Amino acid sequence: MIPELGNFALILAMLLALVQGTLPIIGAARGIPSWIALARPVTQGHFVFIAIAFGCLAYSFVNNDFSVLNVASNSNSDLPVHFRFAATWGSHEGSLLLWVTMLAGWSVAVSVFSRQLPDDMVARVLGVLGLVSAGFLLFLLFTSNPFDRLLPAAIEGNDLNPLLQDPGMVMHPPMLYMGYVGFSVAFAFAIAALLNGQLDAAWARWSRPWTVVAWIFLTIGIMGGSWWAYYELGWGGWWFWDPVENASFMPWLVGTALIHSLAVTEKRGSFKSWTVLLAITAFSLSLLGTFLVRSGVLTSVHAFATDPARGIFILVYLSLVVGCSLTLFAWRASKVGLGGNFEIVSRETTLLANNVLLLVAAGSVLLGTLYPLLIDALDLGKISVGPPYFEAVFVPLMAPAIFLIGLGPIARWKKASLPALAVLMRWAFVVSLVAAGIMPFIMGEWKPMVSFGLLLAFWVIASIFVSISHRLRNGGEGGLFTRLAKQPRGYYGMHCAHLGIAVFIIGVTLVNGYETEKDVRMEVGSTVTLKEYTFQFNGTKSVTGPNYNASQGQVEVFREGKKVSELQPEKRTYTASGMPMTEAAVDMGLLRDLYVALGEPLENGAWIVRVYHKPFVNWIWLGCMLMALGGALAASDRRYRLAIGKKSRNKAASGPVAPETADIPAGSMVTNSVILSEEGGKV
């Protein structure tokens, strides 16, 4: 009965999505207030029914209802309850249901938190989101129904893929999907502005907060997936340029460009066409990632579907979304305008150059991801595009982009002086050059690529200090701490995110340059030395988990004769599937990780053991956390209050950016037409 209830809720949700995607848009076009007013309640009803459907599927998993094909294929009665719940989105069908649930959640958030916007604009935005949701619900109901029955019911389930039986599985997909789907809001605002024929600063001002929040979630999701791969797969790697990793990375790159482009459109009235195209591209890449994962064209732990019909449906849907969006853009292009003018040396130029580099980088990743698929589809053979291609193409594109991160925040809008910039930044360059030259010697060996990577990282860090110092010197009266306290959170958020990029670069550079590993045969009592650490293998013991049996290694780690850690890597065999899994053991530290994984058992109690010493590897995820924190600081900027009446809101919606907003830092967010301080006065 519960699965039938969930299926019925999906049908009702699809019908409401069709209403949400048609009547409000028609009402906004024809000026029918009653149809416009339908947008919010229909959106909220749509969310309620999708939430009911998701709850029914989760209930079926938690209660081992093996009469549901999806449950029988992806769960088992021995599976711990928290993994049974996570298995709800561990299948192709469940992950798509999670997708539409997230999309409905974003739509409700727009309906609730956009009451200060003109009703016709909100109706168009929610209408576009309804059309997007309707497409996915049709896909779910007709090709990937999560509630299909299995008759007669199975006595026992097949089990969840052991790779996915990990705490990271509980959080990684929801965070990733929140980011993926969140870009649909920026897309919807762009399409709504095109439908309205009014691509001024207002739509960018309204869209930007949603884009930043989506970017935060996507950053956390990618970070979580990288960390999961690091400790779960037993290879010691944190990024493999897997096609599905690339599918999430491409929207992140374009989303990063979109955030900065929205800031310029909002504040200076420039980049209008470019910003719209970025909004369309970011969401289109999210849909492309869905096609790659769900179509069965990829072989990956992330890829679920194997039915070609599903891939064709998503490909047609992707073509419709992209084709209609670009057609609408071309139709309205004459209304977009050229935007504000600026000199070749200006903040606008640095942001535009950075945007172009990010977009080209995303294009290079897209080419490396799709080219093997195209060659295979044309029956021209099978090729593999791996890390050598991506590192050879991607890194040279990112180097100038990182250099521009240091210049952008300190350059003036519209027109800057190159000599003045050189004077301001000279000490930042000198300090970063000296630090990058010395650091490799501290690590024990000078390597040119390590020094170059550190130069870029220290350049960003030094430029942050220069930017803050310059702002404080021109920040009015008061002491140092008074002037620091006067700076908005958005300003600190921008620099926190940039600091995160620098920390990330340091982690990547040092772990790639100085990590060491050994893959050795170890008998009971034997040792192996890596750097200044000695690993002693003391054999294995048998352990039993809730749904697996394992051989647990006993490895003691010594430094200068003193025991510093005891690691217990495992080689598991899951009872339901019989699938073996390697569970690495990691001794984490701020400056290094010690990583041990069991390979294959040998005679006389010996094992193949892999040991790694990874310097600064945790700085990779620390950098990602700082980036997300920077976005959160910008999102929580207390200057931005919704404090204007409905009439003035509608008037302000079509007006230019308030002059007071012209110098708001690139890392901040704006959610209303007039920026008000805590006391109610203009900033």
Q: What is the DSSP string of 483-528?
A: HHHHS-HHHHHHHHHHHHHHHHHHHHHHHHHH-EEEEEEE-TT-EE
Provide the 3-class DSSP secondary structure of residue 298. coil
The more confidently predicted of residues 316 and 507 is 507
The more confidently predicted of residues 197 and 117 is 117
- The residue-averaged pLDDT of 435-462 equals 94
The residue length of the chain stands at 683
Crossing angle between the packed helical segments 418-443 and 448-473, to the nearest 10 degrees: 140
* pLDDT(365) > 70: yes
The more confidently predicted of residues 243 and 661 is 243
431: its two tokens: 């300090």
| Residue 640 dihedral angles phi and psi, to the nearest 5° | -95, 105
* pLDDT(393) > 70: yes
pLDDT at 214: 95
pLDDT in tens, 604-663: 889 999 999 999 999 999 999 999 999 999 888 765 444 333 433 444 444 433 333 333
3-state secondary structure 389-449: HHHHHHHHHHHHHHHHHHHHHHCCCCCCCHHHHHHHHHHHHHHHHHHHHHHHHHHCCCCHH
**In the block, which residue shows the tokens 């192996």?**
528
pLDDT in tens, 207-226: 888 999 999 999 999 999 99
Q: pLDDT-derived band of residue 169, with 50, 70 and 90 as boundaries? A: confident
Phi and psi based region of residue 381 (left: phi greater than 0; alpha: psi -120 to 50; beta: remaining): left
pLDDT at 601: 92
pLDDT at 306: 53
Find out whether 251 and 282 touch, Cβ atoms under 8 Å.
yes
* 681 Cβ contact partners less than 8 Å away, ≥ 6 residues apart: none
Lowest mean pLDDT among 9-13, 228-232, 288-292, 662-666: 662-666
- The residue-averaged pLDDT of 508-530 equals 95
The more confidently predicted of residues 636 and 103 is 103
- The residue-averaged pLDDT of 175-194 equals 93
Query: What per-residue string of b and e applies to 355-374 under the rule 16 or more CB within 10 Å gives b?
Result: bebbbebbbbbbebbbebee
Q: What is the DSSP string of 76-101?
A: -TTS-HHHHHHGGGSSHHHHHHHHHH
Q: pLDDT-derived band of residue 429, with 50, 70 and 90 as boundaries? A: very high
pLDDT at 476: 65
- The residue-averaged pLDDT of 546-550 equals 93
pLDDT in tens, 258-274: 999 998 888 888 888 88
What distance in Å separates the CA atoms of residue 637 and residue 209, rounded to the nearest whole number? 11
Lowest mean pLDDT among 69-83, 273-287, 312-326: 312-326
* pLDDT(566) > 60: yes
pLDDT at 639: 55
Mean of per-residue pLDDT scores for the chain:
86
- The residue-averaged pLDDT of 558-570 equals 94
* pLDDT(551) > 60: yes
pLDDT at 297: 59
What distance in Å separates the CA atoms of residue 304 and residue 310, rounded to the nearest whole number? 11
* 187 Cβ contact partners less than 8 Å away, ≥ 6 residues apart: 128, 132, 279, 280, 282, 283, 325
* 435 Cβ contact partners less than 8 Å away, ≥ 6 residues apart: 454, 458
- The residue-averaged pLDDT of 388-410 equals 92
249: its two tokens: 């990375």
pLDDT in tens, 271-284: 888 899 999 999 99
pLDDT at 680: 32
pLDDT at 378: 78
What distance in Å separates the CA atoms of residue 134 and residue 300, rounded to the nearest whole number? 28
What distance in Å separates the CA atoms of residue 493 and residue 626, rounded to the nearest whole number? 9
* 396 Cβ contact partners less than 8 Å away, ≥ 6 residues apart: none
The more confidently predicted of residues 171 and 505 is 505
The more confidently predicted of residues 206 and 14 is 14
H or E element, residue 313: helix 308-336
pLDDT at 307: 62
* pLDDT(459) > 70: yes
Q: What is the DSSP string of 156-177?
A: S-----GGG-SHHHHHHHHHHH
pLDDT at 305: 46
pLDDT at 665: 36
- The residue-averaged pLDDT of 186-205 equals 86
One-letter amino acid at 260 equals H
* 448 Cβ contact partners less than 8 Å away, ≥ 6 residues apart: none
- The residue-averaged pLDDT of 558-567 equals 94
Q: pLDDT-derived band of residue 499, with 50, 70 and 90 as boundaries? A: very high
What distance in Å separates the CA atoms of residue 275 and residue 483, rounded to the nearest whole number? 34
* 545 Cβ contact partners less than 8 Å away, ≥ 6 residues apart: 572
Find out whether 260 and 351 touch, Cβ atoms under 8 Å.
yes
pLDDT at 632: 92
The more confidently predicted of residues 648 and 245 is 245
DSSP assigned state of 149: B
Find out whether 515 and 595 touch, Cβ atoms under 8 Å.
no
Largest CA distance in the chain: 83
* β-sheet with 607-615: strand ranges across: 516-522, 607-615, 592-601, 585-587
When mean pLDDT is compared over 294-298, 475-479, 501-505, the highest value belongs to 501-505
The more confidently predicted of residues 554 and 204 is 554
- The residue-averaged pLDDT of 372-396 equals 85
One-letter amino acid at 469 equals S
pLDDT at 667: 35
**In the block, which residue shows the tokens 């299909």?**
148
H or E element, residue 75: none
pLDDT at 662: 36
What distance in Å separates the CA atoms of residue 505 and residue 626, rounded to the nearest whole number? 12
Find out whether 25 and 92 touch, Cβ atoms under 8 Å.
no
Find out whether 270 and 339 touch, Cβ atoms under 8 Å.
yes
pLDDT at 308: 66
